C-alpha cells in the first residue's frame, strides 16, 4: 500500500481532503504590535464521525514553477516564534474547534515579512482503490501565516513573456520587487496587430518577496482554436492585487509586452541510396 499526504491547498484528490477537514481562515495576516501578534484557526468536521487531528507548523515558499512548497528553513521563517494550542484535538461530527495562534518575537527581529503554514492533519487514513492499487491517503490542509514588521508591501510587475512551442502555451513572468508577498490576478488580451485573437483571466497567484512566478496562459485552450502562427504578437492587460490580501486596498498596473513566435524548424532524415557495394 502506498501512503499519500494531501497538502496545502489540496491539489490532488481535493474532495477527499476538504471532506475530512474544514479549515478557516486559509490566510492569516498580521502586523507585529510590540513584538506580538495572534489569531484563531477554526477546525471543522463536516462528517458524522469524530476525528482526531494534529496541528503543526512548517516553513514554505512560493516556488516560481511549482507554487506552494514547504522547505526546511530560511531567514523569513516565523516557525521558531509560533505558539499554538491545542496541538492535538478531537472534533466531533458536525462540530468545530478553535486553535489559538500566538507569535512572540524578540525586539531585535529586523523589519520585514515572516511566514509559516500551520497544518491540520487528520490522524485517520482513508484507503483509496484505483484498480489493483490501494493508496492510504492522509488529509492535511493548512493556514498560511504572514507576520509583518515595519513598513512593507508587495510591488508586482509583469516582466516578460515567451511562447513555449513544445507546450503550446504562453509563459508570463511576474516579478515581486517589494518587501511583502503579493497575490496578483491578471486580465489579459492576446493581439496580433490590431486584431484581438483571444482574452482571458488568470486567477490570483502568489509571488514571494524578491522572487518571480511563471504563469502559464494556455493557448489554444479550445479544440477549434488554431495554434499561433510564426510572427509578432502582443499581450496587454492589467495586473491587480490587494494589500493586505484580506483588505479592499486594490492596486492595478497596466502592462503591454511584445513577443515573437518563431518558425519551427523540422529536420527530415535523408538516407543515402543503396549502391549495392
167 in a structural domain? yes
Q: How many CA atoms lie within 13 Å of 159's alpha carbon, on the beta-carbon side?
A: 15
Of the given ranges (84-93, 166-175, 189-198, 222-231), which has the lowest mean pLDDT?
222-231
In this structure, the answer to whether residues 23 and 120 fall within a common structural domain is yes
In this structure, the answer to whether residues 99 and 160 fall within a common structural domain is no
Give the count of beta carbons closer than 10 Å to the beta carbon of residue 17.
Answer: 25
In this structure, the answer to whether residues 122 and 160 fall within a common structural domain is no
Length of the chain: 277
The residue with greater pLDDT, 53 or 167, is: 53
d(CA 105, CA 80): 9
Please give the tally of structural domains in the chain.
2
In this structure, the answer to whether residues 108 and 218 fall within a common structural domain is no
End-to-end CA distance of the chain: 60
Write the pLDDT tens digit of every residue in 19-47.
468 899 999 999 999 999 999 999 999 88
Beta partners for residue 6, in sequence order: 139
At residue 125 the predicted structure's pLDDT band, cuts being 50, 70 and 90, is low
In this structure, the answer to whether residues 134 and 186 fall within a common structural domain is no
Residue 253 structural domain: 156-261
Query: CATH number of the domain that 50 lies in?
Result: 2.60.40.10
Contact, 170 vs 176, CB < 8 A? Answer: no
Query: Which cell numbers hold the place of 23?
Result: 479549515
Amino acid at each position: 500500500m502506498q501512503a499519500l499526504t494531501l497538502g496545502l491547498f489540496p491539489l490532488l484528490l481535493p474532495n477527499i481532503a476538504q471532506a475530512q477537514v474544514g479549515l478557516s481562515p486559509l490566510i492569516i495576516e498580521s502586523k507585529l504590535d510590540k513584538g506580538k501578534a495572534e489569531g484563531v484557526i477554526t477546525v471543522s468536521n463536516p462528517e458524522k464521525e469524530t476525528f482526531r487531528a494534529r496541528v503543526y507548523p512548517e516553513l514554505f515558499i512560493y516556488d516560481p514553477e511549482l507554487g506552494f512548497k514547504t522547505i526546511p528553513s530560511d531567514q523569513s521563517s516565523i516557525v521558531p516564534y509560533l505558539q499554538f494550542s491545542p496541538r492535538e484535538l478531537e472534533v466531533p461530527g458536525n462540530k468545530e474547534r478553535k486553535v489559538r495562534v500566538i507569535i512572540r518575537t524578540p525586539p531585535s527581529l529586523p523589519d520585514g515579512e515572516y511566514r509559516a503554514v500551520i497544518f491540520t492533519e487528520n490522524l485517520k487514513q482513508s484507503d483509496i482503490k484505483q484498480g489493483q492499487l490501494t493508496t492510504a491517503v492522509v488529509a492535511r490542509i493548512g493556514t498560511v501565516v504572514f507576520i509583518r514588521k515595519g513598513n512593507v508591501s508587495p510591488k508586482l510587475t509583469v516582466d516578460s513573456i515567451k511562447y513555449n512551442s513544445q507546450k503550446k502555451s504562453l509563459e508570463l513572468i511576474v516579478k515581486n520587487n517589494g518587501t511583502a508577498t503579493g497575490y496578483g490576478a491578471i486580465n489579459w488580451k492576446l493581439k496580433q496587430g490590431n486584431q484581438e485573437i483571444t482574452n482571458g483571466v488568470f486567477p490570483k497567484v502568489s509571488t514571494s518577496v524578491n522572487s518571480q512566478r511563471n504563469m502559464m496562459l494556455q493557448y489554444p485552450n479550445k479544440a477549434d482554436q488554431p495554434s499561433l502562427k510564426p510572427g509578432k504578437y502582443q499581450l496587454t492587460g492589467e495586473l491587480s492585487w490587494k494589500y493586505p490580501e484580506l483588505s479592499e486596498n486594490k492596486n492595478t498596473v497596466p502592462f503591454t509586452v511584445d513577443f515573437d513566435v518563431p518558425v519551427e524548424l523540422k529536420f527530415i532524415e535523408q538516407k543515402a541510396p543503396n549502391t549495392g557495394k
